[in-house]
Amino acid sequence: MKSLALGTSSLSVSEISLGCMRISNMEPKEIDALISTSLEVGINFFDHADIYGQGKSEEAFASSIQRLRIAREDIVLQSKCGIRDGFFDFSKEHILTSVDGILDRLKTDYLDVLLLHRPDTLFEPDEVAEAFVGLLESGKVRLFGVSNQNPGQIDLLQASLPMKLQANQLQLSITNTGMIDSGLNVNMQIDPSVDRDGGILEYCRLKKITIQPWSPFQFGFFDGVFLDNPKFPELNEVLQKLAGQLGITTTTLAIAWLLRHPARMQPIVGTTSPDRVKQVAEASDVILSRPEWYEIYRAAGNKLP
């Protein structure tokens, strides 16, 4: 498994992360197998959020780490806060309270990374800065980032922060390519040319913010998996053909497609299957050619201008 530096920090992390949203209802032995397999294939980065399983996912993860006797320094923990029941909350009080709850559930003294989860239009940048500074100085959080934010929102927050934002978690998959489409269809009067994200792909590259694609196998907004889905016959035909030529699975290929982008992304993979974790990890050793990458892009229904 290749590694990358998160943003401009010195924190070295696996270039693929295991998302832990769905582990709250798994049996302990299943969670143990999932985590131990992840570490065996080189995935040391684990992504959480306080709303995953209403906190139970973090608790289940911590219990597994204790059972497996995994040292804290051998894993990188990221969690997110800011989503509440019916609204978003980036207030200082909520951020500080949320982090204390996260640390308690994860049974750790610190988070390697904290992300703000979904934009809060009522947020006060200086108030967030106060919370971040307090968390950094207390040793509770080492690095900070955001999730689902555009360049203007990031700049607004960054202007008040003494530390750099290192990551931005964004939805991206072969079938969810809006941030790529607009850059390929510049100056065209067609729907794919519409820039809905403020050029977030190029912005993150310029600012050296690590993009963390979430739901890399999903289409729409959690509408289902595109792999082997009859809704995407051409895409799956191409994926199966190329996967066969490369001697890998289509699961591996879908992640390799993301890793091929020079933005040096870190996909967040939410599988609960140890076998799929192994297939995902193989993507770290696959480098697609330009023709292969674009063939997959076109097969998903995208047209080049």
The residues annotated as belonging to the active site are 52
Nearest to 153 by CA among 100, 86, 218, 209: 209
**Tokens of residue 277, six digits:** 């974790």
Exposed e or buried b per residue across 39-69, where buried means at least 16 C-beta atoms within 10 angstroms of its C-beta: bebebbbbbbbbbbbebebbbbbbebbeeee
Nearest to 301 by CA among 212, 191, 203: 191
d(CA 137, CA 296): 46
As to burial, measured by CB atoms within 10 angstroms (0-12 exposed, 13-18 middle, 19+ buried), residue 139 is exposed
Beta bridge partners of 210: 167
Beta bridge partners of 165: 144
- CA atoms 46, 50, 54, 55: torsion sign: positive
* Ranges of H-type helices in 138-232: 151-158, 178-184, 200-207
d(CA 80, CA 118): 9
Beta bridge partners of 170: 213
